[in-house]
């Protein structure tokens, strides 16, 4: 009996050490080659939760095992805007609301697109707003004020972005300075399309690719944009990956924020579901690829949104709260300062656990990739 116990103990030890060895192999392979950062503008926990009640298929948010929380205040304000929020992600610094790629004292600071270029990493920027809007702009431009769209458009034309998609044609070709920046893209060997997303076969040999699909912002998903965001995400990933070098890609679901500002739950939820579809495209690629880290987060929450009971009326006219069905309820038409979830998948994902400042997203990306 004693011998049997001894043999059993030996088995357990061998099994346990095997398990440790295989876990160590996973930890050792924690340097991602590619980074896909998805930002749902204005997407707090209740916005995310809405996918679990209103999406007909299982939400892609549910596929993550590594989850953290960020503090989002800007350098001067408790409540951030999208410019300071995206500058924190793109450059790792706290700046003032309205700042695009500049420090609190308005000094230019390197962005992830610029850092990618310096490290021979391809880069892509995708949004459903104008490509010159605060969130995408913070990844390639430097402006003391987010409203300087023509200046920001000039930065995109000069930048080393390899793939971009969004709206904002007018900031490139109907400018006060009369410069035609669309022509500049063509001079820089861009395949530029201002009508619709192309299929992969027609862009794969282009040195660089840009889509500007709207005079200003793109329409809401439910009002004509359709599945542009997941398709642009998939197209951009495939295009950048097939170039043979590592890549960094930022994808923004810009209009979850606008549904929040409008206190329009249907708008917010349809944009959130569309963003979740884009997350799915990134995760499907990362799962197959094995060398890609997907990070999903938001700059801030918008609307003070929550999922409360549905208010209904009895036959006598009195109201009651019906717990059997949730409804979207707002507490403000502005941004809020609640902690924001961070979801990570792929090599290096464990780095994103915990509670930390939004600027850490940038520093953690540099830490896990080794980009300088
Ligand atoms: Mg935005
Ligand atoms: Zn906003």
Share of the chain above pLDDT 70, in %: 92
Is residue 265 within 8 Å of residue 259, measured between CB atoms? Answer: yes
Indicate if the pLDDT at residue 25 is higher than 60: no
**Domains delineated in the chain:** 40-310+319-369 (3.40.720.10)
Q: Compute the distance between CA of residue 99 and CA of residue 86 in angstroms, rounded to an integer.
A: 9
Q: For the purposes of burial, counting CB atoms within 10 Å of the CB of 16, is it exposed (0-12), middle (13-18) or buried (19 or more)?
A: exposed
Cα of 195 vs centre of ligand 1, distance in Å, is 22
Per-residue pLDDT at 30:
84
Bigger pLDDT: 178 or 27? 178
Residue 144's Cβ-side half-sphere holds a number of Cα atoms within 13 Å equal to 3
Cα of 82 vs centre of ligand 2, distance in Å, is 6
Q: Compute the distance between CA of residue 372 and CA of residue 370 in angstroms, rounded to an integer.
A: 6
Indicate if the pLDDT at residue 218 is higher than 70: yes
Local structure of residue 100 (DSSP, 8 states): B
Indicate if the pLDDT at residue 370 is higher than 90: yes
Cα of 135 vs centre of ligand 1, distance in Å, is 4
Length of the chain counted residue by residue: 372
Cα of 313 vs centre of ligand 2, distance in Å, is 33
Indicate if the pLDDT at residue 281 is higher than 80: yes
Is residue 51 within 8 Å of residue 58, measured between CB atoms? Answer: no
Per-residue pLDDT at 63:
98
Q: Compute the distance between CA of residue 55 and CA of residue 141 in angstroms, rounded to an integer.
A: 35
Q: What is the mean pLDDT of residues 320-330?
A: 97
The model's pLDDT over 334-354, given as tens digits with 9 standing for 90+, comes to 999 999 999 999 999 999 999
| pLDDT confidence bin for 40, thresholds 50/70/90 | very high
Q: Compute the distance between CA of residue 41 and CA of residue 208 in angstroms, rounded to an integer.
A: 26
Could you say which ligand is closest to the alpha carbon of residue 146? 1
Indicate if the pLDDT at residue 121 is higher than 80: yes
Cα of 11 vs centre of ligand 1, distance in Å, is 55
Closest CA to 192 of 217, 174, 166, 160: 166
Bigger pLDDT: 366 or 15? 366
Local structure of residue 352 (DSSP, 8 states): G
Indicate if the pLDDT at residue 28 is higher than 60: no
Indicate if the pLDDT at residue 24 is higher than 80: no
Cα of 116 vs centre of ligand 2, distance in Å, is 27
Q: What average pLDDT is seen over the chain?
A: 94
| pLDDT confidence bin for 22, thresholds 50/70/90 | very low
Cα of 42 vs centre of ligand 2, distance in Å, is 6
Indicate if the pLDDT at residue 183 is higher than 50: yes
Per-residue pLDDT at 6:
55
Cα of 229 vs centre of ligand 1, distance in Å, is 14
Cα of 257 vs centre of ligand 1, distance in Å, is 7
Q: List b or e across 360-371, with b for residues whose CB sees 16 or more CB atoms inside 10 angstroms.
A: bbbebbeebbeb
- Strand spans (E) along the chain: 34-40, 66-71, 122-130, 163-167, 190-193, 208-212, 247-253, 292-297, 301-302, 306-313, 319-329, 335-336, 340-345, 354-357
Global pTM?
Answer: 0.92
Indicate if the pLDDT at residue 233 is higher than 70: yes
């Amino acid at each position: 009996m004693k011998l049997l116990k001894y043999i059993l103990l030996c088995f357990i030890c061998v099994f346990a050490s095997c398990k440790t060895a295989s876990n160590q192999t996973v930890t050792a392979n924690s340097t991602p080659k590619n980074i896909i950062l998805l930002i749902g503008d204005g997407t707090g926990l209740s916005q995310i939760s809405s996918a679990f009640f209103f999406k007909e298929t299982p939400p892609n948010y549910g596929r993550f095992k590594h989850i953290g929380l960020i503090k989002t205040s800007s350098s001067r304000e408790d409540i951030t805007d999208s410019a300071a929020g995206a500058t924190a992600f793109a450059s790792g610094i706290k700046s003032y609301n309205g700042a695009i790629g500049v420090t609190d004292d308005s000094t230019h600071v390197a962005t992830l697109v610029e850092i990618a270029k310096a490290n021979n990493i391809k880069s892509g920027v995708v949004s459903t707003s104008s490509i010159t809007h605060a969130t995408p702009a913070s990844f390639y431009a430097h402006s003391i004020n987010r409203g300087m769209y023509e200046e920001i458009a000039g930065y995109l034309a000069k930048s080393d972005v390899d793939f971009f998609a969004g709206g904002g044609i007018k900031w490139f070709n109907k400018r006060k300075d009369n410069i035609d920046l669309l022509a500049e893209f063509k001079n820089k060997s861009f395949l530029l399309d201002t009508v619709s997303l192309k299929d992969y076969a027609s862009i794969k040999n282009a040195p660089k690719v840009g889509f500007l699909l709207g005079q200003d912002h793109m329409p809401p998903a439910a009002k004509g944009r359709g599945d542009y965001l997941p398709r642009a995400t998939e197209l951009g990933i495939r295009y950048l990956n097939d170039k043979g070098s590592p890549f960094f890609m930022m994808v923004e679901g810009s209009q979850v924020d606008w549904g929040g500002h409008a206190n329009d739950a249907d708008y917010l939820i349809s944009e959130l579901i569309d963003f979740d579809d884009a997350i799915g495209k990134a995760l499907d690629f990362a799962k197959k690829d094995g060398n890609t880290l997907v990070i999903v987060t938001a700059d801030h929450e918008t609307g003070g949104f929550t999922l409360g009971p549905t208010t209904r009326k009895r036959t006598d006219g009195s109201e009651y709260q019906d717990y059997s069905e949730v409804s979207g309820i707002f507490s403000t038409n502005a941004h809020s300062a609640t902690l924001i979830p961070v979801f990570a998948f792929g090599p290096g994902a464990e780095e994103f656990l915990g509670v930390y400042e939004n600027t850490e997203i940038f520093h953690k990306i540099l830490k896990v990739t080794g980009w300088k």
